[in-house]
Amino acid sequence: MSLFKNPWGSNEKTNFRSRFFGVGSEEEINQPKVHENVTLGVSYKFRSKPPVIGKNALLRSNTVIYNDVEIGNDFQTGHGVLVREKTKIGDKVLIGTNSVIEGHCDIGSNISIQSNVYIPQNTLIEDQVFLGPCSCFTNDRYPLRATCDLKGPIIRKGVSIGANSTFLSGIEVGEGAMVAAGAIVTRDVPPYYLAIGAPAKHKPLPKQFKKLNKI
């Protein structure tokens, strides 16, 4: 029994690996592992294009990936992950169970996104970033009260974000910075600083922590 329905109709012959993983059937590669109830290629507008996913992917049950998504090699999801349209993801990225990427996001390589993380539209995440469980980012400073551009966070290279931290819209977290668990971040965090508390205060990282993550 097939693990997914052909979104192009039953009369069209579709090579799964070619459509979604950007390879030909004749190539000898590691077979992607796809668990049950995975939905690939949700169409959100007319003529949107199927997602492209690199080699060695592991997509766990109830993962949903929209059209117009580009993902690199060695991609893994937990259960119940959602990746919306116009998202680009690099190599060696893990997205944990029940995490949501709302679309129009640019996510780098060597990234660990833990469970129950919310990433809104128009977010930029650079390489070697760790996002702790239940961290929440926003892109609308005055929801339903004023019209403004939706602006997600900018998370620079090598940042570590603690569990249950919350970010106002448009926050930039500088390279190598750390955000403590439970922090409420209301202003930009300088490179190699620690944000701690609610609202978060900033202080320089100790010397031993002034280095990038190894993911």
Distances (CA, A) of 55 to 74, 90, 109, 138, 204: 6, 12, 14, 31, 40
**Which residues share a beta bridge with 63?**
none
Max CA separation in the chain (angstroms): 62
Q: Give 30-52 pLDDT, tens digit per residue.
A: 556 899 999 999 999 999 999 99
d(CA 153, CA 195): 15
Q: What SS3 class is residue 203?
A: strand
**What are the tokens at 126?**
């650079």
CA 101-7-80 angle, to 5 degrees, is 30
Residue 61 has pLDDT above 70, yes or no: yes
Bridge partners of residue 42, in order along the sequence:
66
Taking the C-alpha atoms of residue 160 and residue 190, their distance in angstroms, rounded to an integer, is: 13
One-letter amino acid identity for 160?
S
Mean pLDDT taken over the chain? 89
CA-only gyration radius of the chain, Å: 18
Q: Is there a domain that residue 9 lies in?
A: no
Token pair recorded at residue 65? 């990936």
The count of domains in the chain is: 1
Segment 152-173 mean pLDDT: 98
Q: pTM (2 decimals)?
A: 0.86
Q: How far is Cα 87 from Cα 71, in angstroms, rounded to an integer? A: 8
Query: Is 31 among the domain residues?
Result: yes
CATH code, domain with 44: 2.160.10.10
Per the domain annotation, does 147 fall within a domain? yes
Residue 3 has pLDDT above 80, yes or no: no
- 154 is a domain residue: yes
In a domain, 214, yes or no: no
pLDDT in tens, 66-91: 999 999 999 999 999 999 999 999 99
Please answer whether residues 197 and 176 qualify as being in contact, where contact means their C-beta atoms are separated by less than 8 angstroms.
no
**In angstroms, rounded to a whole number, what is the distance separating the alpha carbons of residues 157 and 212?**
8
- The answer as to whether 92 is a domain residue is yes
How far apart are the C-alpha atoms of 204 and 193, rounded to whole Å?
4
Of the pLDDT bands very low, low, confident and very high (cuts 50, 70, 90), residue 215 is: confident
- Is residue 8 included in any domain, yes or no? no
| Residue 3 falls inside a structural domain | no
Domain around 117: 16-209
**What does the block give as tokens for 175?**
């390279």
